[in-house]
Structures are given as C-alpha cells and as structure tokens.
C-alpha cells in the first residue's frame, strides 16, 4: 500500500479484533460465535452481580463512569474506523517556539497529508502541535479532566471528535485500541508512562502490532539517551530480548519518522487469530522465493507447522471488505513479538 491509500479495519477485525482477542478471558476461537446481543446481556448480568456482591458505592461509581466514558468514545470513533490513525504523545509544557513542538507539527502535517488522522490528548504543547499539523478535520482529541493542564487546545475545542475522560486507564485504552501507530515526542512522566505502556502491550501481544517511533528535535538527544538506557541497562542485563529493540525506532528526522509509519503498511495490512493460527493480511501475495526465505529465517517463531500462503478463511466471513487480500497463515508461538515485527519488516521490504 502506498502512503496515499489508507484503509483501516472495521470494528469486527484487525486492530480492534486483535485487541479484544488478548483482553477477554473467552478463548479467541470461541468468541467469534458470540453475538453483540449476548455480550450486552453479559454486561447486564455483571452489573446485577454488583448487588449480590454488596459492592461499595465508590467501586460501582468507578465502573459506571468508566463504562459510560468508553461507550461514548466507541460511538465517536465508530464514524472514523475507515481511516488509519496515529496517536501522538508528548509534553503539554512545550511552547510553539520549541524545536520539538515544530517537529510534531511537521510530522502530523505529513501524516495527515498521507491520509491518516492524528489522535492526541487534546491539551497544549505537543498535543496541540499534533492537531495544528493535522488540522481540525483530521484531528481527534481524548482529553483528561485534571485540576491543571485540562483545557482543550484551540484546534480541537468544541469539535465532535473531542472526548473528555475522567480516568487515565480508559483514556490510555483508547489511545492504543484505536491507533495504527504511535509517535512519541519529548515529555515528562506522562509521556514516559505512555511510552512504556505501548511498548509493554505490543511486546506481550496484549495489543495489535503497530509502528512506534520516538522523534527527537533536530540534533536532540532526549530519545537517543532513552535508547542508550534501554540498551545499557535493560538489554545488557537480559531483561529484554535483542529482537525487542525492533519494536521501536528513534530518529530526529521527520522523513524517517513518517516512513516508519507508512512503510509498516506497505505490504502488511492487518492481523487476526483464526483457530489458533495467526493470519497476516497482505496487500499483495508474496513470491515463492520470499516464502521459502521466510520459512528458513523465521522458523524459530513457529509453534508448529509451516508458513502457508492462503486466501481469506471461512472464519473471516465477517470481514468481507478484506476478502480479496492474500494471507500468510502460521502457528505463531505468541511470545516472539519482536521477531514478528522483524518478519513484517521483511515482508514490507521484500514483498
């Protein structure tokens, strides 16, 4: 797929489906037969059990607020599920004359020109820069209600695509669930929290796989020093795997940052588990030579069997708009996410 052709999966497939697969307790293969009506009934049954459990008012209020926030947010995002989106993280304290702010403006402008939407926390600083670059039409805001730094920036204020949430955990869920990539700019505790959150979710398979790029100001060292810490403290002590370093990219180049996002979807489209197998949807089929090479170089991520190129599977009938895409099907070990990212990089580079 070139940078100007954007297609995001609907609610029943790809990113949102993958996210459900790893967050629900129901076995993924049996979940496909559960309809929306039954799931809503389960929600009602769970709510009724709060009376039986004699839950205290604070706990019930937390659940009620979180559910209302998520329901409304899902409704807002549903109108834009046909477009890919990038979540932009960074400090609320950086001013428009700061080089990192300007980088965020340029990155978001370029990514919007490629057809993507930009999701930010909707406040000032880097969040504002993301919306300035993308412009109001292509911006989505997920604001957090705080005693400070809670005002929405002028670009997104009053827009139907602006949501106000009370809890960080519902907000962070939306940042990840609804995105097709993450761009991180310099920031404080919150940015670091979001950074390690997305890395953890991707590394453990608790989220769909997507590109993560850390963008420094030109000649800056914020993320370069962060990567040095990762290498010298985490990697050297074998607290992460060498392949985990493939899950992110550090750069001070807008060109490289944009290409990291667009290149991820050059051939790769989306993924889904079917009957225990991982199915990668692709923009076009792989050559026989590349399939043989993949089978040799990435045999270590197989739990059993081989890499098989197929068409759409019967179990994917609820994704008719993706029926024409070829598939790469294999029994993934569900542990080697860094290696899986390297496989996707190979497919995008050689496919």
Q: Give the tens place of pLDDT for each residue, 162-211.
A: 999 999 999 999 999 999 999 999 999 999 999 999 999 999 999 999 99
Q: Is residue 222 assigned to a domain?
A: yes
Give me the pLDDT at residue 298, please. 98
Which pair of structure tokens corresponds to residue 245? Answer: 């370093």
Contact 73, 165 (CB under 8 A): yes
Q: How far apart are CA 216 and CA 100, in angstroms?
A: 7
User: pLDDT at residue 345 above 60?
Assistant: yes
Give me the pLDDT at residue 220, please. 97
Give me the pLDDT at residue 5, please. 37
Together in a domain, 127 and 243: yes
Q: Is residue 30 assigned to a domain?
A: no
Q: Is residue 132 assigned to a domain?
A: yes
Tens of pLDDT along 266-318?
A: 999 999 999 999 999 999 999 999 999 999 999 999 999 999 999 999 998 88
Give me the pLDDT at residue 146, please. 79
Give me the torsion for CA of 288, 330, 9, 11, rounded to 10°. Answer: 160
Together in a domain, 208 and 64: no
Q: How far apart are CA 34 and CA 26, in angstroms?
A: 10
Quote the distance between the C-alpha of residue 199 and its chain's center.
Answer: 10
Domain end call among 201, 235, 264:
264
Together in a domain, 230 and 341: no
User: pLDDT at residue 261 above 60?
Assistant: yes
Together in a domain, 155 and 223: yes
Tens of pLDDT along 105-124?
A: 999 999 999 999 999 999 99
Nearest Cα to Cα of residue 326 among 295, 282, 290, 287: 282
The more confidently predicted of residues 317 and 239 is 239
Together in a domain, 135 and 237: yes
Give me the pLDDT at residue 32, please. 53
User: pLDDT at residue 58 above 90?
Assistant: yes
Q: How many domains does the chain have?
A: 3
For residues 18-38, average pLDDT: 53
Together in a domain, 130 and 246: yes
User: pLDDT at residue 30 above 50?
Assistant: no
Q: Band of the pLDDT at 150, cuts 50, 70, 90?
A: low
Together in a domain, 218 and 159: yes
Q: Band of the pLDDT at 33, cuts 50, 70, 90?
A: low
Together in a domain, 288 and 206: no
| pTM for this predicted structure | 0.88
Q: Is residue 324 assigned to a domain?
A: yes
The domain that holds 169 is classified in CATH as: 3.40.50.450
Going through the chain in order, the beta strands assigned E by DSSP cover: 85-89, 117-120, 139-144, 162-165, 182-184, 212-215, 249-251, 268-274, 277-282, 302-310, 327-332
Domain end call among 222, 243, 264:
264
Mean pLDDT of the chain: 91
Domain of residue 72, residue span: 35-78
Helical residues (DSSP H) of 135-287, grouped into ranges: 168-177, 189-203, 222-229, 254-264
Percent of the chain exceeding pLDDT 90 equals 85
Q: How far apart are CA 69 and CA 92, in angstroms?
A: 23
Give me the pLDDT at residue 76, please. 97
């Amino acid at each position: 797929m070139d940078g100007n052709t954007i297609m995001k999966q609907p609610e029943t497939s790809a990113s949102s489906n993958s996210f459900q697969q790893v967050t629900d307790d129901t076995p993924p293969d049996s979940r496909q037969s559960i309809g929306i009506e039954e799931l809503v009934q389960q929600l009602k049954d769970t709510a009724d059990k709060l009376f039986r459990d004699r839950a205290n008012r604070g706990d019930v209020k937390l659940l009620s607020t979180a559910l209302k926030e998520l329901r409304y947010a899902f409704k807002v995002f549903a109108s834009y599920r046909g477009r890919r989106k990038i979540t932009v993280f960074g400090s609320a304290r950086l001013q428009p004359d700061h080089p990192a702010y300007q980088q965020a403006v340029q990155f978001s402008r370029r990514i919007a020109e490629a057809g993507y939407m930009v999701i930010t926390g909707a406040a000032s600083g880097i969040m504002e820069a993301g919306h300035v670059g993308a412009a109001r039409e292509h911006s989505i805001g997920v604001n957090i209600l705080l005693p400070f730094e809670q005002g929405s920036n002028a670009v997104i204020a009053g827009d139907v695509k602006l949501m106000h949430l009370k809890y960080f955990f519902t907000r962070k869920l939306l940042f990840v669930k609804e995105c097709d990539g993450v761009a991180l700019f310099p920031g404080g505790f919150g940015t670091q929290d979001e950074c390690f959150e997305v890395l953890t979710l991707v590394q453990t398979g608790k989220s769909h796989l997507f590109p993560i790029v850390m963008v420094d100001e030109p000649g800056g060292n914020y993320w370069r020093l962060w990567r040095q810490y990762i290498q010298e403290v985490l990697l050297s002590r074998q607290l992460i795997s060498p392949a985990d370093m493939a899950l992110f990219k550090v750069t001070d180049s807008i060109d490289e940052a944009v290409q990291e996002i667009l290149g991820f979807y050059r051939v790769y489209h989306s993924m889904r588990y079917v009957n225990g197998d991982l199915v990668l949807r692709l923009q076009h089929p792989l050559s026989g030579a590349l399939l043989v090479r993949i089978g040799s170089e990435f045999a270590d991520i197989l739990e059993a069997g081989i890499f098989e190129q197929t068409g759409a599977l019967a179990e994917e009938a609820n994704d008719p708009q993706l029926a024409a895409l070829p598939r790469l099907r294999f029994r993934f070990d569900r542990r080697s996410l860094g290696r899986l990212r390297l496989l996707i990089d190979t497919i995008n580079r050689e496919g």
